[in-house]
Amino acid sequence: METNFNASYGFPDEKYIYTKHDTVILAMPVINESTTTVVHMLNFYEQCYQEVLGVYNNCIYNDKELLFISLKKGELKEGSLSFKLDVVMGQRTNNTYPGPFVFGEDWFYGEKLGMCDSTYYMESDAALVLQDYLNSYSTINPPPPSGYRWLVVNDANNPYQLTGNEYKDENNNNLIFYNEKEGEFIHDEMCLDYNEMNFHLEGEHIVIYSLMRITHNKPDNWEFLNCIIQGVNDDKPGSQTIDRIRHQNYLYYAFRYLVPIWEIEDPTSLSTL
């Protein structure tokens, strides 16, 4: 159902400058955890469609489009199986991959603390800025042969979660922002100057497009869709004295297939419905 919906209405091949997630909890009547009726499935599909269309219509982005949906099975209770429906919308852009940060573009690590000069407080932070940059770029595939189209199937293991200290460069620097110490962090430690922003933007790019594929032994048609990055301040597991600030990553991937259009037609934009 998820793949069919994404094939019908999703546009993951576009480039997006902003993305947003909405989550809806739905339920479908079932006979047991693995069996239901065709009628219930059709009704559930229509329910999903209406929820996604509602998210689309309420999205305030200009030039908006649906990237993809994700359905995760939940609990079976009183003859109904719950599902978590994640809807990812985006604002399209014609820009190429964004350029580097420049002098003065210094951001606090997270928690919407804003820039290091106290501007944009409770509006943004380094994690959100890096997230938007990464989500504005996606793999550009060559045009499919005549009579074919690209079909994207979500990875069932989504989202892939990274704490922040999994990958390092040749100098043992964390590619993703991660810092730990005993005691409280001071202003300069919580602030990523423009050089650090550039370093971690490139680091995230290396992790997302190269190292994750190697780590999980994925094929060439396994491609990045989008990400959620959260600036987190928490205790190091197993320690009550070591504090850490970091960028928690939630990475979404999909498998891309070349299929004949006579089998699966081109997607339909929700804006036309």
pLDDT < 50 stretches in the chain: 96-98
Nearest to 235 by CA among 184, 189, 186: 184
Residue 269 lies in a domain: no
Query: For the chain, how big is the Rg over CA atoms in Å?
Result: 21
Mean pLDDT of the chain: 90
Token pair recorded at residue 235: 């205790």
**Residue where one domain finishes, among candidates 65, 95, 125:** 95
- Measured CA to CA in angstroms, residue 150 lies from 63, 162, 193 at distances of 22, 28, 40
Domain that residue 40 falls in: 1-95
Which of 78, 95, 112 is the endpoint of a domain?
95
Of 95, 115, 148, the residue that ends a domain is 95
In total, how many domains does the chain have? 2
Whether 273 is in a domain gets the answer: no
Looking at the fold, whether 195 and 60 belong to one and the same domain comes out as: no
**Of the candidates 70, 95, 74, 97, the residue with the CA atom closest to the CA atom of residue 85:** 70
